[in-house]
Amino acid sequence: MKTCLFGGSFDPVHAGHLTIAATAQQYCELDEVVFLPAACSPFKQGNTTFFSDQQRLHMLHLATADLPWARVSGLDLQLPPPSWSWRLAEHWHQQHPEADLYWLMGTDQWEQLHRWARYDYLCELLHFIVYHRDTPPQPRPGVRSTFICAGLHPASSSAIRQALQQHTEIPAGWLPPAVDEWMMQLNHLSTTPISPD
């Protein structure tokens, strides 16, 4: 079993996230990609998400409902903050010791990987899949890694949040259809922009 953990805020999940996950799944022949919404990044302590934990989980379930290789886990939301990646990887390894464990990340995270808590331990547990848009990043000696080009998708969680706050249109194709429909229904219930609760 080849399992890939994909952590992030997913605030909200958008089509770019799904493109990245699908590219990794196909290229690395993964059995499953597990979407793990983060409670609180160690590098962003004090920040709060626009959508609530339950809303982010719900949107992920909507977005991945038709993807047989996708799973959603609220594990990190159940653990005390901050969101330590080694803790998630360790938990998955203990629960599924037979699985080949991967971690999906972007180039910016790869370049900061040495700053992550228990870096050496993470490298023991994980094979990293690093997505990039053009020039592949540099390998790290002794670290198992695969580099994939996921293309350039324009969707941005921060731009989507800004559009919701300003009551402006979200560009077509940025949101998975089921998530887009859910947001429209939520907005119809209120005259104010979508709020976290």
Question: Above 60 in pLDDT, residue 46?
Answer: no
pLDDT in the model for residue 80: 82
Question: Above 90 in pLDDT, residue 6?
Answer: yes
Question: Above 70 in pLDDT, residue 57?
Answer: yes
pTM: 0.90
3-class DSSP assignment, residue 183: helix
Q: Confidence class of residue 189 from pLDDT cuts 50, 70 and 90?
A: very low
| Least confident range of 8-12, 39-43, 49-53, 156-160 | 39-43
Q: For domain 2-153, give the CATH number.
A: 3.40.50.620
Q: Which residues contact 144 (CB under 8 A, 6 or more apart)?
A: 123, 126, 127, 128
C-alpha closest to that of 30 among 65, 70, 76:
70
Based on the number of CB atoms within 10 Å of its own CB, is 32 exposed (0-12), middle (13-18) or buried (19 or more)?
middle
Share of the chain above pLDDT 90, in %: 77
Alpha-carbon distance 120 to 4, whole Å? 19
- The amino acid occupying position 117 is A
